[in-house]
Amino acid sequence: MIAIKSKFLMSSVDDIYADHAVVIEDEIIKDIIPNVELRSKYPGVEIIDKSEAVVMPGFINAHMHQYGVLSRGIPANVEFNDFEGFLNDYWWPFIENRIGLREVKATTVTSAIELIESGVIGLCDTLEAPNTEEGTLIEQGKIIENLGMKAVISIESCERIDCENGLKCLKENADLIRWSKENSKLISGMMCTHTSFTCSADFIKKTKQMALVLDAPMQFHLSESTYEPNYTAKYFGTKPVKYYNDLNILDENILVSQCVKVDDEEIEILKERGTKVVHMPLSNCEIGGGFSPVQKMLDEGIKVALGTDGYINDFFEVMRGAFLIHKSVAEDTTVMSAKTVLQMATEHGAYVLNLKDSGKIKVGNKADVIVLENKFKTPINLDNIYDQIVVHGRKEFVSNVFINGKRVLKDYELSGVDKKSVEEDMKKVAEDFWKF
């Protein structure tokens, strides 16, 4: 049993305690107690004294592509000026189609380390590697579990190459789901398709049926730019959300990422169907797709989570982007408050990934806890704590990370990880991958 003292203990964004400690027994949060009462109630407990720090729930990265590390600085020498060009001329031929198990292994450990060091305790990954070896997803899951992280992983399945390839990827998802249920406490799976313009209606419905049989959720990208709405209007005479709804796909077991170009009617459908949504503020900027109406979705009661998309894996940068960008777009300083963004990064992330015992520090939950050292340049207090963390927080403030009660980051050091070796291997894999 251990206890972490704090200056501020954030049980949730609505419940913050001053000068309290969290008591952890095995994997579980056993108690929340004033610092001054800790020793008398638990005389033999091991105390980690962080009396000047913030102790809070770990962040959850609800959508990413771990392999995206390979694209950093890649000398593709390809010009594109829209989303269609980004996919057809750059991303698919130069990156996705060439990803194999070697690249997955290197990028999985590299990106997971980046996430842990910025306070992320769990992730949802979409591997986009239609030509990778059989069993790749299970190998990816083993690597993440070995690092002590929680993850929901999948491989994107579509008919972009051909139907046979799509079915192969669906089998890879099903194999991972079965493996994780029998072999892992930290890893689970999802069925996964790409979009309405790379998957036929029959393929999408088949994937949904497989998800039902496997008792697993399903995820896909939705309206990342104007390309998909234009496509469904041209070929199906409707909007993307209505298209999926007409196929009877949307429900509370569906997770959709992006939702950049969705209108009020589509938002109402997502709300009615209980569909879960993930927002990627920084990667939306990169591809010039536009800005998702996140505040409108939140106002309608949709629990929108945050993701890195594998683009920039520093979760403080992602939170800061979500906080700032939408104010500029809306020309309204009241949208996307720091408290709202922090809730998206913790509680909403746990909700959309079905991590029911994560997202909050409360008795009985899994002990997914991070420590932020008080390195803020100005005083932190109950009136400014949300803004201090979201706007002025840095990954360098994260000194300790506990996942299911295990201390995977101890005083800035990762348990059992040779970072230098990981970095050297990643550079070698990237150098070889870039030789095209």
Residue 398, CA atoms < 13 Å, CB-side half-sphere = 29
Element (H, E) at 320: helix 315-330
- CA trace torsion 395, 399, 405, 408 (10° rounding): 80
| Average pLDDT over every residue of 52-68 | 98
pLDDT tens digits, one per residue of 225-283: 999 999 999 999 999 999 999 999 999 999 999 999 999 999 999 999 999 999 999 98
pLDDT of amino acid 352: 98
Angle between helices 136-147 and 101-117 (to 10 degrees): 30
Selected residue with higher pLDDT from 80 and 414:
414
| Average pLDDT over every residue of 103-123 | 98
Query: Which one-letter DSSP state was computed for residue 332?
Result: -
Secondary structure of the chain: what % helix, strand, coil (to 5)? 45, 25, 35
Q: How far is CA 29 from the centre of its chain?
A: 23
- Give the rounded percent of residues in the chain with a pLDDT score beyond 90: 93
CB 106 within 8 A of CB 426: yes
pLDDT grade, residue 83 (50/70/90)?
Answer: confident
| Residue 133: φ, ψ to 5° | -70, 155
pLDDT grade, residue 285 (50/70/90)?
Answer: confident
pLDDT grade, residue 323 (50/70/90)?
Answer: very high
pLDDT of amino acid 432: 97
Of residues 17, 24, 115, 9, the one with CA closest to residue 66: 115
Q: Which two tokens stand for residue 222?
A: 């939705």
Burial class (CB in 10 A: 0-12, 13-18, 19+), 342: buried
- For the chain, the residue count is 436
CA distance linking residue 150 with residue 436, whole number of Å: 34
CB 219 within 8 A of CB 190: yes
Does the structure show a pLDDT above 90 at 289? no
Cα torsion 201, 206, 211, 213: sign: positive
Does the structure show a pLDDT above 80 at 418? yes
| Average pLDDT over every residue of 81-89 | 83
Give the least confident one: 62-76, 255-269, 281-295, 310-324: 281-295
CA distance linking residue 167 with residue 22, whole number of Å: 47
Single-letter residue type at 394: R
- Give the rounded percent of residues in the chain with a pLDDT score beyond 70: 100
| Average pLDDT over every residue of 68-78 | 88
pLDDT grade, residue 75 (50/70/90)?
Answer: confident
pLDDT of amino acid 333: 95
Burial class (CB in 10 A: 0-12, 13-18, 19+), 341: buried
CB 15 within 8 A of CB 27: no
Does the structure show a pLDDT above 90 at 85? no
pLDDT tens digits, one per residue of 336-360: 999 999 999 999 999 999 999 999 9
**Average model confidence (pLDDT) across the chain:** 96
pLDDT tens digits, one per residue of 132-177: 999 999 999 999 999 999 999 999 999 999 999 999 999 999 999 9
pLDDT of amino acid 382: 97
Does the structure show a pLDDT above 80 at 77? no
Does the structure show a pLDDT above 90 at 317? yes
Of 68-77, 194-203, 285-294, give the range with the top mean pLDDT. 194-203
Of residues 27, 19, 89, the one with CA closest to residue 368: 27
pLDDT tens digits, one per residue of 5-48: 999 999 999 999 999 999 999 999 999 999 999 999 999 999 99
Give the predicted TM-score (pTM) of the model: 0.97
CB 11 within 8 A of CB 56: no
pLDDT of amino acid 84: 83
CA distance linking residue 85 with residue 343, whole number of Å: 35
| Residue 59: φ, ψ to 5° | -80, 155
CA distance linking residue 39 with residue 47, whole number of Å: 9
Does the structure show a pLDDT above 80 at 287? no
CA distance linking residue 204 with residue 198, whole number of Å: 10
| Average pLDDT over every residue of 408-413 | 98
